[in-house]
Amino acid sequence: MFLHITNAVYITDYKIDVLFNNGRKGIADLAPEYVYFQAFKNEEKLKLQFKEWGYIS
């Protein structure tokens, strides 16, 4: 079973208020560093930075 987001509202500072189809809700707090890591995790020149941030070992 998959939940579907029925409503999402931008709050502030990379936080999104989400409402699921089963009535549950919550806040997605998206750290900009992690979003950056996900976008560029295969860039060799950034691996040292990602290691310092603790995203890779």
pLDDT at 26: 85
Half-sphere exposure of 35 (CA within 13 A, CB side): 8
pLDDT at 18: 84
Q: Express each pLDDT in 3-57 by its tens digit.
A: 676 666 665 566 778 888 888 888 876 778 888 899 999 999 999 999 999 999 9
Query: For residue 34, what is the enclosing H or E element?
Result: helix 32-40
Query: For residue 5, what is the enclosing H or E element?
Result: strand 5-10
